[in-house]
Structure 1
Amino acid sequence: MPNEMPLSAETMKNFLYASTATVSMQMLKRGFRNSAVTGVRPLNPKSARLVGPAYTLRYIPGREDLDKPPMPGDPPSAQRAAIEETPAGHVLVIGTEGNTRSGTLGDILALRLKVRGVAGVLSDGAMRDTPVIGRFDFPVFCAAAAAPPSMNHLHPVEVQAPVGICGVPVYPGDVIVADEDGAIVVPRHIADEVARDSFEQERLEKFVAIRVRQGRAIPGTYPPNDETKAAYQAWLKAGEPAGG
């Protein structure tokens, strides 16, 4: 299955070089207008760069006879499965139907994910212990903070099923690319080309920014005309000098 293909080191490097703004433009060029997850923010802005395949966890609204304070002898749950089974390098994507009344994770579970090598977390719900998680060198994106535990209002039902995050569909294996602007969801089968073209767009825009700082007008510079494209190629051959 295409969604099970691991990401190459080059694709990872290309996505990490590009901003989500650039990746969103590449998605638009391919006809994808609903790929940007807005309304989520990183708990630690200094740890906001996130790239990895999605491993999903889905919650539904909780019910009092099913969702009670945890006990050591509780049977396995989808939440605990996600904590222990999300592969290293993947992004745990938690869908809550936008329920922010309870936190889906607290500092202990987030720390467990970090120690296991999970790339980060993306959720349309809330997190608990946000002052602590916000000090982790671990990207956690969410919509809100909430003190109550998840079982106050939520019930974990399954892992590795499609989820909706702020109106954007996420399928297991889709690539999540996130920074301080939010997150972009890229279907796995186009991820390599989107990453490649995002890298090239980012590099071109670096050159365009140099030209604008030099006083060049926007027409002909952005988008670049043939003259600007030729100057860009010369700049690449020169080793991308900072002064243009």
Structure 2
Amino acid sequence: MDEKLREKFMGVSVATLATALFKHGLRNQVIQGVHPLKRKGRNMVGPAFTLRYIPAREDRNQLVEFRKPDHPQRVAVETCPAGHVLVMDSRKDARAASAGDILITRMMVRGVAGVVTDGGFRDAAVIGELDIPAYHTRPSSPTNLTLHEALDLNMPIGCGDVAVFPGDIVVGDDDCVIVVPQGIAGEIADEAAEMTVYEDFVVERVKDGVPIIGLYPCTRDEHADAFKAWRAEQGR
């Protein structure tokens, strides 16, 4: 991923990105029901690398499966590129874990930028303390083999009711996660960065007691002029 683009996404909120995408007609890009295990105070940013689970069937999913070197979950952990985000389609089913702390620690050591599932993680408290952003719906202790079969790697998936294609830019903050289509990522990043500058100005004005009508959104020349002057002073 271009590091200048990554830096732009690091400086904008998911809420601002959602608005920028809405301006482009995209209404359903926030992954639903997914939250950070623990707030990190920084964004998770990276291209999507995907893993798809299907419902487990007893004749195919016993503990012996984990001994196989080509098990898709294990392969995902070892092949998700550094700087990417592993996004898992767990069918919005947190009754069995999508992964646990050992696998996610391995991804952290390998330089993976983050991990997202619309299911749950086991060892959630431990994962929350790791220096890798992780998002799920809730803690889940049973092994994934009890209900999920890891099947496909790096193909289009659905995660939390959002279509995720390999290479889409995944951004998570201390609230939630959003998916930015790869083809418009640069444009969205630029727009969101500009929106963030104005929003920072608005917050200062509101704290000073200025009413939001005409200010947010800006519909009055007086606020446009004040923003221009503020921006010059701030060097932004």
Distance 1:189 1:199 in 2: 18
Seen in structure 2, the aligned counterparts of structure 1 residues 48 and 166 have a Cα distance that, compared at 3 Å, is farther
1:226 aligns with 2:221: yes
- Superposition deviation, residue 240 in structure 1: 5.2
1:237 aligns with 2:232: yes
Query: What does 1:1-244 correspond to in 2, within 5 Å?
Result: 7-46=1-40, 49-70=43-64, 73-224=67-218, 225-239=220-234
- Superposition deviation, residue 73 in structure 1: 4.4
Distance 1:73 1:93 in 2: 23
- Superposition deviation, residue 46 in structure 1: 2.6
Distance 2:206 2:93 in 1: 44
Secondary structure (helix, strand or coil) at the match of 2:126 reads: helix
Secondary structure (helix, strand or coil) at the match of 1:18 reads: coil
Asked whether the equivalents of residues 42 and 48 of structure 1 are also in contact (C-alpha less than 8 Å), the reply is no
AA in 1 matched with 2:12: A
Asked whether the equivalents of residues 20 and 178 of structure 1 are also in contact (C-alpha less than 8 Å), the reply is yes
AA in 2 matched with 1:186: V
Q: Deviations over 1:22-67 (max 9, x none)?
A: 0000000000001111211111213662111000000001011110
Which residues of structure 2 form unaligned runs of 5+? Answer: none
Asked whether the equivalents of residues 44 and 136 of structure 1 are also in contact (C-alpha less than 8 Å), the reply is no
AA in 2 matched with 1:104: S
Deviates more, 1:225-234 or 1:162-171: 225-234
AA in 1 matched with 2:221: D
Distance 1:94 1:211 in 2: 41
Secondary structure (helix, strand or coil) at the match of 1:134 reads: helix
Distance 1:100 1:73 in 2: 24
Distance 1:193 1:229 in 2: 23
Distance 1:141 1:14 in 2: 21
- Superposition deviation, residue 226 in structure 1: 2.4
Secondary structure (helix, strand or coil) at the match of 1:52 reads: strand
Identity %: 40
AA in 1 matched with 2:190: R
Which residues of structure 1 form unaligned runs of 5+? Answer: 1-6
Distance 1:204 1:48 in 2: 20
Seen in structure 2, the aligned counterparts of structure 1 residues 142 and 99 have a Cα distance that, compared at 3 Å, is same
Distance 1:39 1:215 in 2: 35
TM-score by length of 1: 0.92
Q: Deviations over 1:144-192 (max 9, x none)?
A: 2111111111101110111111111000000001112211110011001
TM-score by length of 2: 0.95
AA in 1 matched with 2:204: I
RMSD: 1.5
- Superposition deviation, residue 75 in structure 1: 4.5
Distance 1:73 1:184 in 2: 34
AA in 2 matched with 1:36: V
